[in-house]
Amino acid sequence: MNNFTFYNPTKIIFGRNTITSSLKQNVPKNSRILLTYGKGSIFKNGVYNQAIKGLEGNGHKIFEYGGITPNPRYKHGMEAVELIKKNDINFLLALGGGSVLDLTKFMSVASCWTKGGDPWIMYQKRTIPKYSPTGALPIADVMTIPAAGSEANCGSVVTREYPTQNRKIGLAHPLMFPKFSVLDPEITFTLPWRQTRNGIVDSFVHIIEQYVNSLSNNPIIDGFSETLLKTLIDSSYVLLKKPKDYGARANIFWASSCALNGIIRTGIYETDFVMHHLGHEITALTEADHGLTLAVLLPAVWKNQFEIKKEKLARYAENVWGIKYGSIEEKAKKAIDFTVNWLHDIKMPTNLSACGKVDPKLFPKMADQAIKYWAPVKGSKGLGQFGNLGVKECVEIYKTCE
């Protein structure tokens, strides 16, 4: 097992009817609160009313910033920062999915940025210590979709629009851990299938990007990851038949949080995340759903990196899909087929055309941008677990998705 430090200070409050009571108990009294939310789902599924009830009577002054889009926008974050400064807001409460929470994390550090100039520099130059966040407002959230895992981590992914091309990039910093996150699985009953499926696949790929790398010889984390993967697969089939099955919704929610709260990267060697890094470039171009880009890239990355990943894929085949017979290669190949079949079963496309129009001429630029932004985070020259994926290999992966 590798050395590690595990730090996750976010309090998780999980279960039915927890929103009102947990806000009453956990939001500091007499706060000046900014409620942030998306395009309106919180008004239909009861989250807004339950939150307001939980905030009543504690001396709070409440402000609101709504209309945050999926793949949340820098310009909206900056509008909210103005509101925060103008009204001396001292607590941010995100009501919604990963996009709402990610942009709220941006607001939190951007409104406390003391070094002058555009706070976007924190995201752009995330590996340079002098551009690290200089402070943060406290954040809490009511998470309404099991997907990004943002409720249990300190990451934030934001898109900025430029005249020529959008950039979708991210920052992770301990100041951006939520103080607490409320997860009520009943709230996820209202998710349309597209979002349910996107969230399951995003959570699944978060586990895969940490688990399917070189053999880590870490039975605790490998076993935990396999259980999370099996839980997502089993529960997805339950939801196809019974979208309001509380047990399946709850299992998916908790699996999704555990997938990206840091626990399954303890003691393993390097994580991969190449599907994410290449996927963000697709979304920046076409607005494709994050989960969809991952489903498209997963088989392509596995086929391209077969030699490096085949042993772990064979273990995954055995322990997740019950494939007991055959050589390492045979089991690994079956693992890819079984995974793709499952994606199709849950109505998730795996071909690039489902993401919208991406001109293959752009592949080298997309690969180059992803490498330049994400590789330095790991101190390597290329993407992937071993930093071995340069422009040529990433272009090959994009081509395999076509």
- Between CA 311 and CA 315, with CA 314 as vertex, the angle to 5 degrees is 90
Using CB under 6 A as the binding rule, whether residue 156 contacts ligand NZQ is answered as: yes
Residue 141 site contact among Zn ion, ligand NZQ, none (CB < 5 to 8 Å, cut-off depends on kind): none
Under DSSP, the state recorded for 45 is S
Exposed e or buried b per residue across 62-80, where buried means at least 16 C-beta atoms within 10 angstroms of its C-beta: bbebbebebbbbbebbbeb
Using CB under 6 A as the binding rule, whether residue 98 contacts ligand NZQ is answered as: yes
> In the numeric block, which tokens belong to residue 357?
């129009």
In the bound state with Zn ion, the residue whose beta carbon lies nearer, of 80 and 346, is 346
In the bound state with ligand NZQ, the residue whose beta carbon lies nearer, of 4 and 193, is 193
Using CB under 6 A as the binding rule, whether residue 148 contacts ligand NZQ is answered as: yes
CA dist 371 to 71, 162, 284, Å? 20, 19, 15
Alpha helices in 56-182 (DSSP H): 74-86, 98-110, 121-124
Using CB under 6 A as the binding rule, whether residue 188 contacts ligand NZQ is answered as: yes
> In the numeric block, which tokens belong to residue 116?
């002058």
In the bound state with ligand NZQ, the residue whose beta carbon lies nearer, of 46 and 376, is 46
Residues found near Zn ion in the complex (CB under 5 A): 202
Interaction mask 365-394, ligand NZQ, x per CB under 6 A: ------------------------------
Residues 206-265 that bind ligand NZQ (CB under 6 A): 260
Using CB under 6 A as the binding rule, whether residue 190 contacts ligand NZQ is answered as: yes
Q: Per CB under 6 A, which region of 99-107, 212-220, 232-240, 304-312 contacts ligand NZQ?
A: 99-107
CA dist 346 to 207, 258, 263, Å? 18, 22, 27
Radius of gyration of the chain (CA): 21
Q: In this chain, which residue has its C-beta nearest to Zn ion?
A: 202
Q: Is 152 helix (H, G, I), strand (E, B) or coil?
A: helix
Using CB under 6 A as the binding rule, whether residue 147 contacts ligand NZQ is answered as: yes
Exposed e or buried b per residue across 339-352, where buried means at least 16 C-beta atoms within 10 angstroms of its C-beta: bbebbeebebebeb
Using CB under 6 A as the binding rule, whether residue 71 contacts ligand NZQ is answered as: yes
Residue 70 site contact among Zn ion, ligand NZQ, none (CB < 5 to 8 Å, cut-off depends on kind): ligand NZQ
In the bound state with Zn ion, the residue whose beta carbon lies nearer, of 55 and 208, is 208
In the bound state with ligand NZQ, the residue whose beta carbon lies nearer, of 71 and 339, is 71
Minimum distance from residue 279 beta carbon to Zn ion (Å): 8
Cβ within 8 Å of residue 94, ≥6 positions away: 36, 37, 100, 101, 104, 139, 140, 141, 142, 178
Residue 144 site contact among ligand NZQ, Zn ion, none (CB < 5 to 8 Å, cut-off depends on kind): ligand NZQ
Using CB under 6 A as the binding rule, whether residue 70 contacts ligand NZQ is answered as: yes
142, containing H or E segment: strand 139-143
Using CB under 6 A as the binding rule, whether residue 41 contacts ligand NZQ is answered as: yes
For residue 153, is it left (φ>0), alpha (ψ between -120 and 50) or beta? beta
> In the numeric block, which tokens belong to residue 24?
């009453």
Q: Per CB under 6 A, which region of 35-43, 248-256, 306-314, 321-329 contacts ligand NZQ?
A: 35-43
Interface contacts to ligand NZQ, rule CB under 6 A: 38-41, 45, 70-71, 96-100, 102, 144-145, 147-150, 153, 155-157, 187-188, 190-191, 195, 198-199, 202, 260, 276, 290
